[in-house]
Structures are given as structure tokens and as C-alpha cells.
Structure 1
Amino acid sequence: MHVLYYDKNFLYIGEGYIDSDTLPPNSTDVVPDPEIITPRFDKKKNTWVEAATDEYKDSIKPDPPSPSEIEEVRKQIADLYYLIAMGGA
């Protein structure tokens, strides 16, 4: 049986396989949603919940990509067309 282990604070600490139908202490066979960054097991609801703070989640988000050269040229061309349409101000 595939089991997932959690620590005394119910935070995910690993997983493994056992040759038994009985779950060991501090373990579950419930798989967390892959979108969860820091899984914490809620025994009452028998599910994994998000333990990461909003500040932590924001800190690990990648920076938005910078525009490519083609996108920059397209914007310059669009700006020029706008200037021409407005009378060349």
C-alpha cells in the first residue's frame, strides 16, 4: 500500500510503500492535490490542505517574462501607427 507520512504538526514529510493493509501512525493513503505547495494533513476532514502562507506563495512566483524583441518592435510599430492616425502629435 502506498502511504504518505506527516510529522507531529501534520506537515507532509515523505511517502513509501508498506506490505500491510493497516496504516502506520502519522500516515494516510490520501494523496494531496498537486497544486498544494506545502501540504498539511487535516485528520478531521481526511484531506490535505495548504499550509503555505500567501506571503510565501507570492515569494516563489516567477517574475513575468520580459517582452521579446518582436513584441517590442510590434509595440513600437503600433505606437507609430497611433501617432500617424492622431495627426503626428
Structure 2
Amino acid sequence: MIWVYKYDENYIWQAGKDILVDVENGEKIPKGYTDKQPPDGLFIAKYDPNKEEWFEAASKEYMDSLQPDPPPPDDVALLKKQVALLTLQLSQLQKGGAS
């Protein structure tokens, strides 16, 4: 028995629809399935039947949209920024005004 991996009419992997096929007893791999496992880490796995391999079909924009937003700066980082700005303004005043 081997696992086979389903893809749709556009060759996109259909996660969760994988099945076991008993090839040792003559069972054939059904159409729309392959015995090549999609590699981990693909956002949208697409199968190339000519090369018999999976590749990434997701655009960079799509992958970027799934990344979490960066966390907001913490209070210490905000205070450091304010201190730096105030220090700059103070040094400009001591030199005779802002340039």
C-alpha cells in the first residue's frame, strides 16, 4: 500500500484527500493522483505531471499576505525614540536654533 496525493484540474494539491492504494495487488493509481508527495513548506503546491514534481504556485504577494504584522513597538522602544528626538532638539537649541 502506498499513499497517493490528489490534485485538481489545475494540478493544485487537495490536502486531506490523499488515499492509500494497494499497488502490490494490482490496484492502479487513480487519475488526478500521484505517488509523489508534496514537499513541506509550500503555500500552494502545484504538480507538474511532465516533470513529476511539485512546485510553489503561490505569488510572493500571497505569501507575504499570510505573514503576521510586526508587533507594535514596546514602551521602552517608544521612550528611547522620544529621548533621541528630544536630545536632538535640545542640541539644536543650544547651537542657536533649529537648522
Is the pair's TM-score, using the shorter chain for normalization, greater than 0.5? yes
> 5+ residue gaps in structure 1?
none
Cα contact 2:6–2:32 (8 A) shared by 1: yes
Deviations 1:2-61 (A, max 9, x none): 221001111111332324123221111222222211111011221111111233223333
Q: Select the structure that is richer in strand.
A: 1
Aligned counterpart, 1:4 = 5
**Rg bigger for which structure?**
2
Which deviates further from its counterpart, 15-24 or 38-47?
Answer: 15-24
Q: Measure the CA separation in 2 of the matches of 1:19 and 1:3.
A: 7
Indicate whether 1:41 and 2:50 are aligned.
no
Identity of aligned residues (%): 31
Letter in 1 for 2:18: G
Letter in 2 for 1:52: A
Q: Measure the CA separation in 2 of the matches of 1:18 and 1:56.
A: 32
> 5+ residue gaps in structure 2?
none
Q: State how many pairs are aligned.
A: 89
- When the two chains are superposed, the root-mean-square deviation of aligned CA atoms in Å is 2.7
